[in-house]
Structure 1
Amino acid sequence: MAASDDEVWIDHAAGPLIRPYTVNEGRTRPTVDLDLLSLVASTGWASPDLDPEHVRVLELCHTPLSVAEVAARIRLPVVVTKVLLADLVDCGAIATQAPPSLAGAVDRALLEKLLDGLQRI
């Protein structure tokens, strides 16, 4: 069934109507373990045959950004963004850094005061 000339395939407020999984060619699992707070940054290397989405991510990552921030800026779901980032890590175009551990930075007394205040509500 061919699309008629009257059909609208773009919503100007939402952008092109393309399913996110088409960006990743149906892949839903990244090959690299990335946390939402993992930092990603361009290494300066780029292949000439990258997809437009990969190029867009590389342009953003000239300065280190979190995975969550990259997803927000390219306006794609986090899972889709993680697959794009993993592709770039695999080809050496992006380097990652795990988020800092917060285990030692947590103030137990502050957490207990917070819990006490929440229980009073």
Structure 2
Amino acid sequence: MLSINSAFEELRLHVPTFPFEKRLSKIDTLRLAIAYIALLKEILISDYDPITYIEKCLRGEIKGEHTAEWNTSDLTARLSWINWENLGINIAQRNPMGAFSPFIRTPHSITTIPSSLGTESSTYYGYNNRSND
């Protein structure tokens, strides 16, 4: 049982989470991981750079047959909290040819927020701190 729990803890580190979340349940972790993997797969086959693709999907500008696989309210809510500039990604200076990929450059920046950290520390990892809005 310890190895299963360890595997879930590791998986939780690689899916987008809100800065204020203490811990996802196992079923929520699995559902979120499935949606996130589907999103990453769709980004790889799209003609857009990753950030543009996510932005267009969140605005409803891209609707494909596979979008429904990952476009869950749970995942889209988490993606909408990402602050790319806090991750060191300057949106204005992205390569229009799509050569720039934050998912390759910083693969865990979006997801490696230890559950013990509060929202103050989570802003460093790329999330908007909504309490200051």
Relative to the length of structure 2, the TM-score reads 0.26
More strand by share: 1
User: Is the radius of gyration larger for structure 1 or structure 2?
Assistant: 1
More helix by share: 2
